[in-house]
Amino acid sequence: MSSNLKKLWGGRFSETTDPLMEAFNESLSFDKAFYKADIIGSKAYVKGIEKVGILTSDEAKVLSDGLDKVLEEWETGKFEIKMGDEDIHTANERRLGELVGKVAGKLHTGRSRNDQTVTDFRIWMREKLKELSTILKELIEVILVRAETEIDVLLPGYTHLQRAQPIRFSHLLLSYGFLFQADYDRLQELYKRVNLCPLGSGALAGNPFKVDREYLASLLEFDGVVQNSITGVSDRDFVAEFLFWCSLVMTHISRLSEDFIIYSSAEFGFVTLSDAYSTGSSIMPQKKNPDSLELLRGKAGRVFGNMSGFMMTYKGTPSSYNKDLQEDKEPVFDSHTTIYSSLKIVAAVIATMKINSKNTHAALTDDLLATDLADYLVRKGLPFRDAHHVSGSAVNLCEAKNVQLSQLSLSDLQSLHPLFTDDVSNIWNFTQCVENRSSTGGTSKSSVLAQIDTLRAWLKK
C-alpha cells in the first residue's frame, strides 16, 4: 500500500512519493510557527460547521476539547512531529485524530488547506503587527527623551555630506522620529488589509455547506471577510505590503545608522557608542567598532532581498492558489525577526550613546553662516540672488586671505557691498543662527520643542 494513502490527498495516488520530493514539499519546518493560529482557526471552523449541522454539539465539543489538547502539547513542547506531517495543518489534524478518533475527519468538511493556511497567516501577522506597533512607539519615546535632553547641543547640519548650516542635535534626531511615526501609521493601514477573513473560501470556489463566513470572521475577530473566494485563497498582497514596510523601516534605520557611524568616527567624534553596542578588533587593540550600527545597515539589504525575492515569485502565479505561494512565509518570518530585533537595537543604541557636545560645537565654523550673511543683506533690502552672490564673494575672499568669515574687516565686507555696517558682527553667532529658524519644523529651540510636543501628543493617542 502506498504511503500516500495516509496523506490528506493520498487517495488519488498509487505510487509512493520520492523522499526527495517529500523533503522539497514539506513546510512544517517553518510553518509550525502557525501552530496557535491554526488551532484558533480550527476551533472557529468547528463552531461554523456545527452551526450548519455538519457536527452535533457533542461532536463539536469533542473536537474543540481535542484541539485544546493539541495546543497544550505545542505550548509545553510535548507535540511529537511524525513522518508524513507535511505542514502544520496536516500535523495538527493527524494529532487530533489520534486524540479523538474518527470524528476528527469531519473537521475539514468544506475547508481546504488553501483557505486554512492564509487564515493562519493573517491571524499570525496581525499579532506581529501589534507587537511591532508597540516597539515602534517605544523607539519614538527614546528619541523624544534624547531630544529633550540634548536640546541645547548644536552641530553642523549636512547636505551632500558637506557642512551646510548649524542645527540642533535634537532636530536631527526628531527627523528620524517623524519617519518612524509615518512607519507606524503605515502599519495601522496595513493592519486593516491584513485583518480580513478568507476562511470559508474553500479551495477556490467557495464553501458548499452554506457556512456563515461573517460568523467565522466575528469568531476570529476579523473586521470582515475577503469578498471573493479566489482572492481569498490567492491574495498575498498583504505579504508584499508587509515586506515593503519592513524594507522601508530598515531603510530609515540604515540611514540613521550611517549618520551615527560617521559621527562616531575619530574624524568627527560627535558621539560615542556604549561599549554594550560596540566591538573590538582581533588585531588592533585600540579599535572600538560601531558593529551594532553596521549590522543594522547591512540587515537592511537582507530585508530588501526578502521583498524582492517574494515579488519575483508572486508575479508569476496565475489565478487562485498555487504551491509557489508556500514561498511566502520564510521571507516574512525572517524579515519579522530582523525588524523586531533591529528596532530594539537601534532604540538601545540611541538611549545609551554619549553626545560629545564640545566636539559638535568645535565643528561649527563661520562658513556655516554664509546663508545668514546673505539673509542680513536681504533684510537690508537687497534681492536674495544678489545677496547670495555677495556672500559667495565673501567666502571666496576668506579663502584668498585664509581667514574665517568673522575675521573679515568691515572694510573688506563693504568692498563687496555698501549695505554692510557695524551690525554685521551680530551674524557671527551660531545660537542666534538656529534661533532665526523659528518657523514650523525649523531648528530653533521653540520649533524643536513644538516638534517634541507634537510627537508626544501623537503617542498619547
Quickly count: other Cβ atoms within 10 Å of residue 264's Cβ: 23
Cell of 1: 500500500
Is 460 in contact with 183 (CB distance < 8 Å)?
Answer: no
Longest dimension (CA), the chain: 104
DSSP letter assigned to residue 417 = -
At residue 377, what are phi and psi to the nearest 5 degrees? -70, -35
- DSSP-assigned beta bridge partners for residue 197: 225
Options 57, 160, 411, 439, the catalytic residue: 160
Please name the residues in contact with 2: beta carbons below 8 A apart, sequence gap of 6 or more: 10, 13, 14, 15, 16
Quote the CA–CA distance of 266 and 409 in Å, as a whole number: 34
- The three cell numbers of residue 423 are 551690525
- Catalytic one of 14, 274, 281, 446: 281
Cβ atoms of 443 and 171 closer than 8 Å = yes
Q: Whose grid coordinates read 537687497? A: 382
Q: State yes or no: is 160 an active-site residue.
A: yes
Supply 132's cell numbers.
Answer: 511591532
Residues 225 and 318 sit within 8 Å (Cβ to Cβ): no
Q: Which of 120, 145, 155 is nearest to 43 (CA)?
A: 120
CA dist., res. 412 & res. 85, Å (int)? 85
CA distance 155 to 165: 9
Asked if 281 is an active-site residue, the reply is yes
Mind giving me the DSSP string for 75-89? HTT-----TT--SHH
H/E stretch holding 147: helix 113-149
Q: How far is CA 217 from CA 109, 123, 212, 223, 227, in A?
A: 18, 11, 9, 7, 12
CB 338 within 8 A of CB 250: yes
CB 328 within 8 A of CB 236: yes
Instruction: Give me the active site residues, please.
Output: 160, 281
